[in-house]
């Protein structure tokens, strides 16, 4: 029997706030990416665009006010969509619970103040792991949905679901989706649509899976060529934006046969970076005495021996 799934396309421009370049270059990437998408929105009536991270909008507001005002206009028109509700696409493994709370306190407050919107979805496509208390924090921040993708890169333990209920420590639930296309920088090719259908793991619960396309990491977003590959065969009402995709889904408690997952999740890879994170996490949880001993024995004497600067 053939497989059937709906794969609504969603345009994004993933921009790593901190990676292989300086913050000043990130700010330039934000300005170029956002201004390019505003122009494409004007040229293509069916084009909707989503972008996360309140910090990036804040930089745009401070450094490129003309572009920022054009983004505000398109947000008001319902064509440019702030997503995520957080200050950044944050790490979930090293920060404390208070830090995670502040991510959504400041992020949601910024989007509400500047654009009059509160995000309904958490947006962490490029995060390497997820703390078990995050569903509770998200629900308290007014967020019902969670999107990610990175776990599909596991090369040790294959993640078993595309759409699932993630249950936090206190029983809070968020309806979660991980695109089976395995990318947040897709190029709007037919082969990617086929991959999404073939890789979808929870078609018994929902027949939908997102295709996120647009040049990313260093920003850019979809090009006119990508939009023209998708749009001739797609009516404007069928082009995805986050609100319409979320609203088409039942509430987390009402999806039949939807898999349920508890506890923290992390990327399992043969690369050594995770062991370093584990070491830091251990110091944060239960090994403070070892850290204190090291500081007392080595760090403080070294500081005492340093020459003073007056």
Q: How many CA atoms lie within 13 A of 178 on its CB side?
A: 23
User: Which residues have a Cβ under 8 Å from the Cβ of 221 and sit 6 or more positions away?
Assistant: 11, 12, 13, 33, 36, 37, 40, 49, 214, 215
**CB count, 10 Å around CB of 204?**
12
Which of 16, 91, 126, 217 is catalytic? The answer is 126
DSSP 84: S
The whole-angstrom separation of Cα 54 and Cα 60 is 10
pLDDT of residue 232: 53
User: What is the pLDDT, as a whole number, of residue 13?
Assistant: 95
The reported pLDDT for the residue numbered 53 is: 98
- Quote the tokens at residue 32: 């170029």
- The DSSP symbol for 262 reads E
pTM score above 0.75: yes
pLDDT, position 176: 93
In sequence order, the β-bridge partners of residue 176 are 146, 164
Question: Which pLDDT does position 66 carry in this prediction?
Answer: 98
pLDDT along the chain (310 residues), means of 10: 76 94 97 98 94 98 98 98 97 90 97 97 92 94 94 81 92 94 94 92 85 94 94 46 51 63 64 49 49 48 48
pLDDT score for 30: 98
Instruction: Tell me, yes or no, if 247 is annotated catalytic.
Output: no
**CA-angle at 159, arms to 156 and 162, nearest 5°:** 155
Residue bearing tokens 């260093």: 218
Between the CA of residue 211 and those of 31, 190, 235, 239, 276, what are the distances in Å? 24, 11, 16, 11, 33
Segment 177-213, tens digit of pLDDT: 999 999 999 999 999 999 999 999 888 788 888 999 9
Tokens standing for residue 16: 């790593």
Task: Determine the pLDDT at residue 269.
Answer: 53
Which pLDDT does position 255 carry in this prediction? 57
Q: 81: closest CA among 25, 120, 129?
A: 120
Cα(298)–Cα(310) distance, integer angstroms: 24
pLDDT for residue 56: 98
Task: Please report the domains of the chain, with CATH numbers, ordered by start residue.
Answer: 9-266 (3.20.110.10), 273-305 (no CATH)
pLDDT at residue 204, rounded to an integer:
79
CA distance readout (Å), 188 to 6, 43, 68, 123, 276: 15, 18, 27, 20, 36
């Amino acid at each position: 029997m053939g497989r059937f799934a709906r794969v609504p396309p969603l345009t994004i421009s993933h921009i790593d706030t901190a990676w292989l370049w300086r913050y000043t270059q990130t700010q330039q990437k934000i300005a170029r990416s956002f201004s390019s998408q505003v122009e494409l929105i004007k040229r293509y009536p069916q084009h909707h665009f989503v972008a996360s991270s309140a910090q990036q909008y804040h930089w745009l507001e401070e450094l490129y006010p003309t572009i920022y005002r054009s983004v505000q206009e398109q947000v008001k028109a319902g064509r440019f969509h702030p997503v995520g509700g957080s200050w950044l696409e944050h790490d979930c493994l090293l920060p404390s619970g208070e830090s995670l709370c502040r991510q959504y306190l400041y992020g949601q407050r910024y989007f509400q103040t500047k654009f009059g919107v509160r995000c309904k979805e958490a947006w962490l496509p490029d995060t390497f792991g997820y703390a078990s208390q995050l569903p509770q924090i998200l629900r308290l921040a007014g967020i019902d949905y969670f999107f990610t993708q990175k776990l599909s890169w596991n090369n040790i333990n294959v993640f078993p679901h595309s759409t699932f209920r993630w249950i936090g420590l206190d029983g809070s639930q968020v309806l979660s989706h991980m695109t089976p296309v395995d990318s947040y920088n897709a190029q709007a090719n037919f082969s990617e649509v086929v991959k999404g259908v073939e890789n979808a793991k929870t078609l018994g619960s929902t027949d939908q899976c997102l295709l996120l396309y647009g040049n990313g990491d260093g920003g850019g977003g979809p090009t006119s060529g990508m939009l023209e590959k998708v749009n001739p065969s797609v009516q404007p009402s069928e082009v995805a934006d986050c609100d319409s995709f979320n609203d088409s889904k039942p509430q987390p408690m009402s999806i039949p046969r939807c898999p349920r997952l508890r506890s923290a999740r992390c990327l399992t890879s043969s690369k050594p970076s995770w062991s370093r994170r584990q070491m830091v996490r251990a110091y944060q949880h239960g090994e403070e005495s070892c850290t204190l001993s090291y500081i007392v024995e080595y760090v403080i004497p070294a500081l005492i021996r340093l020459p003073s600067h007056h």
